[in-house]
């Protein structure tokens, strides 16, 4: 609606150091369409209000992290917010999830990358596919880790500023 809109932040060139990796788990239609799932969640989930209550805080924290060029803090905010959103679905009546085992496998690989010294953070919208925020300097190591469990055609590399989205061949 008219109350929902985005305004770009003034660039401090923090984005120049960032990239996004998309892990495509499933390109098919979802069992629970997004509009229906959101309506069900809004009307029945005990966790929905908690998620809403934290959106302004998360947005302020993300903006501050961008301003401070604090990759770790930005990543933690987007990861926690995405997980809270998916928790609202599990709190619906009837409960449902968009995530599949492979979604959880990607999350585990992200944790392994962090433990190995390659910071990265995942997020997901209403679907099984996982997006990973990375620093460009660590992007290839993270892609290499993903390739241990996923095919090349499942990994899409996006250089946020320079080249846009490209499929890893």
Whether 9 maps to a domain, the answer reads: no
Cα within 13 Å of Cα(137), Cβ side: 5
Mean pLDDT of 75-100: 97
Residue 115: domain span: 19-167
User: How long a stretch of residues is the chain?
Assistant: 169
158, two tokens: 């996006």
Instruction: Please say if the pLDDT value at position 167 is more than 80.
Output: no
Global model pTM greater than 0.85: yes
Q: Is residue 41 part of a domain?
A: yes
Q: Which two tokens stand for residue 119?
A: 């910071």
Sign, CA dihedral 116-86-18-65, equals negative
Specify if 105 maps to a domain. Answer: yes
Q: Is residue 2 part of a domain?
A: no
Domain for residue 40, yes or no?
Answer: yes
Structure tokens at 139: 């992007």
Report the 10 Å Cβ neighbour count for 75.
Answer: 24
6 occurs within a structural domain: no
Task: Give the per-residue pLDDT at 2.
Answer: 78
pLDDT at 124 over 70: yes
DSSP string, 81-148: HHHHHHHHHHTSSS---S--HHHHHHHHHHHHHHHTT--EEEE--SSS-EEEEEEGGGHHHHHHHHTT
Average pLDDT over residues 43-61: 96
Instruction: Say how far apart CA 159 and CA 132 lie, in whole Å.
Output: 12
How high is the pLDDT of residue 10?
Answer: 86
When mean pLDDT is compared across 14-18, 129-133, 137-141, the lowest value belongs to 14-18
Say if residue 166's pLDDT is above 70.
no
Residue 159's pLDDT is 75
Higher-scoring residue by pLDDT: 24, 7 = 24
What percent of the chain clears pLDDT 70, i.e. is strictly above it? Answer: 93
The residue-averaged pLDDT of 120-143 equals 97
CATH code (residue 91) = 3.30.70.890
Are the beta carbons of 66 and 58 closer than 8 angstroms?
no
* pLDDT of 6 above 60: yes
**Tally of structural domains, the chain:** 1
Q: Is residue 5 part of a domain?
A: no
Determine the Cα angle at 129 with ends 22 and 101, to 5°: 125
Question: Would you say residue 13 lies in a domain?
Answer: no
Identify the pLDDT of residue 8. 79
What integer pLDDT is reported at residue 87 of this predicted model? 96
Q: What is the pLDDT of residues 57-68, one digit of tens each?
A: 999 999 999 999
């Amino acid at each position: 609606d008219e109350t929902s809109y985005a305004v770009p932040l003034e660039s401090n060139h923090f984005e120049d150091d960032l990239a996004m990796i998309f892990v495509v788990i499933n390109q098919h239609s979802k069992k629970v369409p997004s509009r229906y799932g959101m309506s069900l969640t809004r009307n029945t989930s005990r966790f929905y209000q908690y998620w809403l209550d934290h959106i302004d805080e998360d947005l302020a924290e993300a903006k501050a992290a961008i301003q401070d060029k604090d990759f770790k803090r930005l990543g933690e905010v987007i990861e926690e917010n995405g997980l809270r959103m998916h928790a609202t679905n599990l709190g619906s009546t009837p409960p449902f999830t968009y995530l599949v085992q492979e979604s959880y496998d990607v999350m585990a690989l992200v944790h392994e990358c962090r433990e190995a010294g390659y910071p990265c953070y995942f997020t997901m919208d209403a679907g099984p596919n996982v997006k990973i925020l990375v620093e460009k300097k660590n992007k290839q190591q993270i892609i290499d880790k993903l390739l241990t469990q996923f095919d090349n055609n499942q990994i899409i590399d996006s250089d946020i500023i320079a080249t846009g989205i490209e499929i890893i061949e």
